[in-house]
Structure 1
Amino acid sequence: MHRRHLLGLLAAAPMLPRPAVAQAAEWPARPVTILVPFVAGGPSDIVARAIAARMGQSLGQPVVAENRPGANGEVAARQVVRAAADGHMLFVGSIGVFAINTALRPNLGYDPLRELTPITLAVTTPNVMVVNPDRVPARTLPELVAWLRQNRGRTSYSTSGVGSSDHLTMELFKQRTQTDPEHVPYQGGAAAATDLIAGNVQLSFQNLGTVAGHIQGGRLRAIAVTSAERNRLLPDVPTAIEQGLPDFVVTSWQAVMAPAGMAAPLLSRVHGTVADALRHAETVQRLNAIGFDVVASSPDEYRRFQEEEIARWRQVVQAANIRAE
């Protein structure tokens, strides 16, 4: 074939997509955004910013945590599922965003299993059963259960909102103990803890980081932690399992996801970078200090965990007949 004719054919040929391996090698080509579905200062925000700081150092590109609150995570989730699966948009969210919403809201505007790529289970933290020490005489879980049964219809508990981890933990507790404290939801864990301290409600399950300082300061009494083992921040507080509730293990958690359809080589690189950021000694120390346990699981491990959590909390929601606000 004449050389000039050959060059003409090559120039007219359609451009083929670059191999996924090449795209992975070139990531990131621009700044990476980690979308956070809640306001600044909460658990998702803290985890996202810890990851972003370390990723930015390792990648040589800016990695920015951006807050996009609204509709218990749905506003941010809708933005993520519409984004390209090229690694430049990541999503750090909570148990509510990635599991409980699916069980609680039948018309949810996103599907966390089909429309998002699992990256990793980032951190977990137990909830703590706390009571107002002036309103509740109980010091152990059996004593608390007995007190609640003796005061049926006259007790209430605070939560950070309908469908939150602390709300569903209490509903699971009620189902397991046949007790009936009334639910009083608030806008966040800080408000729920404040009203508990004031004595307007008697008890609550709250994330460890929300109430550890109040427990240590004597403003709240810790009855039990929901982890499988005692927590290093509250070594004298027994688990619910130790006090007669078999398998009562509940963690609030944060995970990292991305838009669906991410190519396997790129997913491997993104996961490795995120996991390295989480496992860095400074990150672990920072997160441990506020009650988080770093997990940094594989994408497959996180997906299995997520599916189990959705199934578990769907059962609790249906049994308690919980409706979203």
Structure 2
Amino acid sequence: MFFKRVLTSALATLAVLGGAATANAADDWPSRPIRIVVPYPAGGSSDIIARLISQQLGAALKQTVIVDNRPGANGNLGASQVAQATDQHTFLLCDVGALAISPSVYKTLTFDPSKDLRGVSMLAYSPHILAVNPSVPANTLSELVALAGKQPISFAVTAIGSAPHLAGVAVEQATKAKWLYVPYKGGSQAVTDTMGGQTQVIMNGMLATLPYVKSGKLKAIAISKRERMAAVPDIPTLAEQGMTGFESGTWQGVMAPVGTPDAAVTRLSAELARVIASPEIKAKLLEQGAEVVVQNPKELDTFFNGERKRWATVVEKGNIKLD
């Protein structure tokens, strides 16, 4: 009986110490600057959000937050670097949907995003916007599809295998349109060339594209949301133009290397949720066509795996494969 009481007391002490250690781990993190890797060129949706939140996030964590653009391989170069990071202070801010597509499109990846990365927080959603150069004689999806049946239509994509590319393929599959895809290394140049007339059509994240629609440099055909957005009530959806139930877009979220401690992930997730929902940032995003959508680590992991399965079907049907 005496031994049992001693053992019970010892276990209770260990539990208390263990809880204290977990609390200390959360309190001690971060112990150095935070690096947020954006795996695309500057000026895109992920980059815009990263720079919007960096100052407030740094103040909340009492550490400098560095935004590090690492473009290449349709975002997979930067994602791979984060997956291999072991410093517990390196994170990925990316289009989660695009990352979910990569395993289906690329024959060989240096990492498996489902196994090597873990969710931290979803931040925002903005639909894709289907837009054309103002000189294109089409104002609706049906008119654009009809035009594509009469002449070659050049379709700018941020990269082959990217989320906007797959959304364009989905439109193609649903409408029987035929696009001549022109690949770029990022959304910024794709938008610039469509405005300049080098390409005629683009499907891209609304956050990075809507300002040019508002200025008249691009003409909007549709957004890829199930219902219209309050920020742009005059732009019809693809769903109401025949693609019933269709939705795509850029889901901006933060991922961490799988070995990142739970305490760090939990704290960063909470601070990201608070910062992204601040009135100032929320208003800026809404003005540019993005909605704040927060998910916790578990919810983000579930969403990611669902998107991976969803787009694998589109990739298989479209026979899209890259080395």
What TM-score, normalized to structure 1? 0.85
Question: What is the distance in 2 between the residues matched to 1:178 and 1:235?
Answer: 27
**CA apart distance, 1:324:** 2.6
**CA apart distance, 1:120:** 1.2
Q: Which runs of 5+ in 2 are unaligned?
A: 1-16
Deviation readout 1:36-79 (Å, 9 max, x if unpaired): 22233322222222232112111222222222333333332233
Identity %: 35
Q: 2:69 is aligned with what amino acid?
A: N
**CA apart distance, 1:282:** 1.8
More displaced, 211-220 or 28-37?
211-220
- CA pair 31-191 structure 1, distance change in 2 beyond 3 A: closer
Deviation readout 1:177-219 (Å, 9 max, x if unpaired): 1121221122332332333334443322122233323323333
Judge conservation of contact 1:230–1:237 (CA < 8 Å) in 2.
yes
Question: What is the distance in 1 between the residues matched to 2:234 and 2:128?
Answer: 15
How many equivalent residue pairs?
306
Judge conservation of contact 1:82–1:259 (CA < 8 Å) in 2.
yes
1:63 aligned to 2:65?
yes
Partner of 2:231: 233
Partner of 1:8: none
Q: 2:146 is aligned with what amino acid?
A: A
Question: What is the distance in 1 between the residues matched to 2:103 and 2:272?
Answer: 25
- CA pair 184-283 structure 1, distance change in 2 beyond 3 A: same
- CA pair 31-72 structure 1, distance change in 2 beyond 3 A: same
Partner of 1:39: 41
Q: Which has the higher helix share?
A: 2
Question: What is the distance in 1 between the residues matched to 2:80 and 2:243?
Answer: 38
Q: 1:283 is aligned with what amino acid?
A: I
Divergent runs of 4+, >4 A: none
Partner of 1:218: 216
Question: What is the distance in 1 between the residues matched to 2:133 and 2:248?
Answer: 22
Question: What is the distance in 2 between the residues matched to 1:262 and 1:200?
Answer: 44
Match of 2:222, SS state, is: strand
Question: What is the distance in 1 between the residues matched to 2:69 and 2:190?
Answer: 22
1:23 aligned to 2:21?
no
C-alpha RMSD over aligned residues: 2.3
Question: What is the distance in 2 between the residues matched to 1:266 and 1:196?
Answer: 42
1:122 aligned to 2:123?
yes
1:312 aligned to 2:318?
no
**CA apart distance, 1:126:** 0.9
Deviation readout 1:13-47 (Å, 9 max, x if unpaired): xxx99833321222122222222222333222222
Question: What is the distance in 2 between the residues matched to 1:142 and 1:40?
Answer: 34
Question: What is the distance in 1 between the residues matched to 2:185 and 2:237?
Answer: 27
Deviation readout 1:137-164 (Å, 9 max, x if unpaired): x322233333333x2x633311122112
Question: What is the distance in 2 between the residues matched to 1:69 and 1:274?
Answer: 23
Q: 1:158 is aligned with what amino acid?
A: A
Partner of 2:103: 102
Partner of 1:269: 267
**CA apart distance, 1:96:** 6.0
Deviation readout 1:247-292 (Å, 9 max, x if unpaired): 1111112210111133434432221112112112222123223322
Q: 1:302 is aligned with what amino acid?
A: L
Question: What is the distance in 2 between the residues matched to 1:211 and 1:263?
Answer: 37
**CA apart distance, 1:85:** 6.7
Question: What is the distance in 1 between the residues matched to 2:196 and 2:276?
Answer: 37
Q: Which runs of 5+ in 1 are unaligned?
A: 1-15
